[in-house]
């Protein structure tokens, strides 16, 4: 049974990436380039699961952040994230 106190995968991502200065600029760029959210999904997937920031290897601090994100996701898939909602949060006020 799903605990309602646990954040959904969408909430995990929306509470992290728009507020993390290390990844925000790249995330916004991906969000603006692809209104479907697919590019943003691939960027975040690569960060979280492949430790890759658009071709840059993550440092120890970044790796700890990705570990915390994976823990917060609790084995739930990034594919279930509402990427349009995350995109809206990222690009709000950017235009």
> Over the stretch 8-25, which tens digit does the pLDDT of each residue have?
999 999 999 999 999 999
Whether the model clears a pTM of 0.85, i.e. scores above it, the answer is yes
**Going by DSSP bridges, is the β-strand pair 52-53/56-57 parallel, antiparallel, or unpaired?**
antiparallel
Contacts of residue 12, Cβ cutoff 8 Å, sequence gap at least 6: 69, 72, 73
Helix axes 83-91, 38-50, angle to 10 degrees: 100
Convert the pLDDT of each residue in 58-93 to its tens digit. Answer: 999 999 999 999 999 999 999 999 999 999 999 987
Count of beta carbons in the 10 Å neighbourhood of residue 4: 7
Query: What confidence tier does 4 reach under pLDDT thresholds 50, 70, 90?
Result: low
């Amino acid at each position: 049974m799903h605990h309602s106190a646990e954040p959904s995968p969408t909430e995990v991502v929306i509470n992290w990436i728009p507020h993390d200065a290390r990844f925000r600029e790249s995330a916004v760029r991906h969000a603006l380039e692809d209104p479907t959210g697919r590019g943003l999904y691939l960027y975040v997937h690569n960060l979280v699961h492949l430790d890759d920031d658009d071709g840059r290897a993550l440092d120890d601090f970044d790796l700890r952040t990705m570990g915390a994100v994976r823990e917060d996701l609790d084995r739930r898939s990034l594919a279930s994230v509402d990427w349009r909602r995350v995109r809206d949060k990222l690009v709000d006020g950017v235009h």
